[in-house]
Structure 1
């Protein structure tokens, strides 16, 4: 037997559930799958896995069946060896292969070596026999092609995952861009509204200023006419230039006052 093989005890009886206990405590029935891959160079290779208890390491007993007598036990091992093809094929974590060295009697038929696989959770057993030589030949022929197909399928799945991630990233960027455009439009609308309000206020101020300037011009024209009338009347009474110097001073003062008033209106 191989020095690396793990020795286990293969019990013949399954654990009996307590009839008075809760039925929910009864373990789920085993779903054992696997097979003997090959018997080469005095070593047996295969794998075994319980789909209902995927973390279990199944117990394997290798036997040599004989006509007219009980089978001969050749080895006991655990199906706990890692194999990448099992992991890639969805067989648990991939550590469900077994391998053992066996010594056959000289007259024994190697094709009659079988494996009795037992579930440690339920005690159920399943018998694996060696595949037919024709099946083995087909496995050898198709195995490499199937592995390549599996690798391509894995590559396609990886590409699909990457594509899905890229699509999610693009969708996220588009959402963020849309939110940014919406916010920019809202800001632009607020700025346009504020600018419109300022333009309306400025137009109103200019209108009021125009009215005030117009009123001031009318006032100045009337004042100028009044002063000219006073100047003419004074000249007729005195026969001289009359109030011309005074009118000049008053006109200058009025012009300065008007300039100050216009400046104040422009600033306010």
Structure 2
């Protein structure tokens, strides 16, 4: 019984320590994001890495998601003779949910892991300590450009994912399910409202912040050589994915909850 209570106590203390350290890291990182001096070249480099080089994986994910969504929606609505709602379901699902969430998860797997591995390697090889010795703030030089770039670029990726996903649904709807092209396009725009797009882009900005934050955080506090860097990379991806799903619900409830 004593051992059980001790184990529970250690878990609880570990949780409090981790939460406090993450909160302090977040506050410090945000303060350096909004406070000069800035490093435009570093920010631009991270924007290209996060935005441009993530386009292929995000685009492929989006187009096949839109195509599958159109097929599944048609199969379900055919039971109620409501096949005409397929276009509306595709566009609303992509803009509100699938576009932001799937793009976020893909970027978390690619960028979150990359950032954790890069910063973690710098930590275990004492490069971060060297930056401090040279009077260069690691938060300003390493963390702030990544967080700013992620927050700015993920809405761009999600907007592209929305367009590609809706186009994928159009391809299946018109060329496989024999919808009239003009009718499908009309139904696509009929029920789409600005709030649907705004909610998705808001999610994207939050997800971009969370992904880069968790990547930088886990890399910054990695320990133990190559094994520690591997653990930090895994933790960055898993924690970012969980936070994406949690905040997806929170933001959805804020925009569309009664």
Greater Cα radius of gyration, structure 1 or 2: 1
TM-score (norm 1): 0.23
TM-score, normalisation: structure 2: 0.24
Report 1 or 2 for greater relative contact order, CA contacts < 8 Å, sequence distance ≥ 6.
2
More helix by share: 2
- Larger strand proportion, structure 1 or 2? 1
